Structure 1
């Protein structure tokens, strides 16, 4: 499933604020050595990169600017607990995993269950595919 987004779900990704993020990296070459260098210099205890010239902190504003994600409005934090994760999964995706544990979704199941919608797909199928696409992205 994970590849460039289908034009059939562009509208839904735009409404959710994920269109730009879904298109990042397609056609770009990632520099694995640069990524490795940053990973080696990351200090999770201080949430900073320790570089030769000092510390560098990546803020939410930095992420917002780079990914063009909306970071306004109310903050959503915390822990969602439900005894009925199958119901939540069905309400949002229209399908339920055979074995669902605490809200975790297996990526293999997601890819196997949600195939790219065709031109004859319904709006509901496209919305569910867009949701699955976003889940796989994040």
Structure 2
């Protein structure tokens, strides 16, 4: 094991130096509202029926302690009683997300952002000339929180996509800023019946591992990824 451990700077090296030590900052963006009952059949069909029921909670400073014990070489936490890690089974049990299927790789660039939003959400935060790569949670909530009792099937599908986007960006795969969700996930939600064919659980775990690796650097300040899963 000693031969596996690299000599790269690690956040654990700053623990005994109070001048350079700091606790990592992480946030979980709670959706602030529960899905309308009309949306549940669409969310279930997409494979997010359990994930939408996730209840968020305040993060504790133990998050930093976990990162300090994370070894990027083995993807495990080195603790006094041995090693442990977060697995795909944990993701499946916590969120009910599929852990087999097509890989989620995203897209490098979306050239017609407004057109994509109009096509899949029925609305856009920008005009037809705008190019943007993220959607603000505040816009998604304001636009889709309240649904008409006479909403059409197309309107319900748009609202379901918007809710899934908030779950992805706010709970499952948030970045360190945690106030927006990247537009790259929206095309994957075009056909809600096909959404469960992707291995969303693998993407959640991969991003968490990536964030754990990134934040082992001593200069890291914020941590993203699925911190609800990590703390749990």
User: Shorter-chain TM-score: which interval?
Assistant: 0.7 to 0.9
Structure 2 residue ranges without an equivalent (≥5): 1-30, 169-232
78-87 or 41-50, which deviates more:
41-50
Residues 40 and 16 of structure 1, relative CA distance in 2, 3 Å threshold: same
Max Rg structure: 2
Contact (CA 8 Å) 1:92, 1:131: kept in 2 or not? Answer: yes
Give runs of ≥4 in structure 1 deviating > 6 Å.
none
Per the TM alignment, residue 133 of structure 1 is displaced from its structure 2 partner at its CA by 0.7
Contact (CA 8 Å) 2:33, 2:145: kept in 1 or not? Answer: no
Q: Are 1:41 and 2:41 matched, yes or no?
A: no
Q: Which of 48, 57, 61 is equivalent to 2:85?
A: 57
Per the TM alignment, residue 51 of structure 1 is displaced from its structure 2 partner at its CA by 3.1
Q: Which of 154, 157, 166 is equivalent to 1:124?
A: 154
Contact (CA 8 Å) 1:2, 1:133: kept in 2 or not? Answer: no
Partner of 1:15 in structure 2? 45
Residues 32 and 105 of structure 1, relative CA distance in 2, 3 Å threshold: closer
Contact (CA 8 Å) 2:113, 2:132: kept in 1 or not? Answer: yes
Contact (CA 8 Å) 2:76, 2:84: kept in 1 or not? Answer: yes
What is the root-mean-square deviation in Å for CA atoms of aligned residues?
2.5
Per the TM alignment, residue 131 of structure 1 is displaced from its structure 2 partner at its CA by 0.8
Structure 1 residue ranges without an equivalent (≥5): none
Deviations 1:86-117 (A, max 9, x none): 11111110111127654211111111222321
Residues 56 and 136 of structure 1, relative CA distance in 2, 3 Å threshold: same
Partner of 1:69 in structure 2? 97
Per the TM alignment, residue 65 of structure 1 is displaced from its structure 2 partner at its CA by 2.6
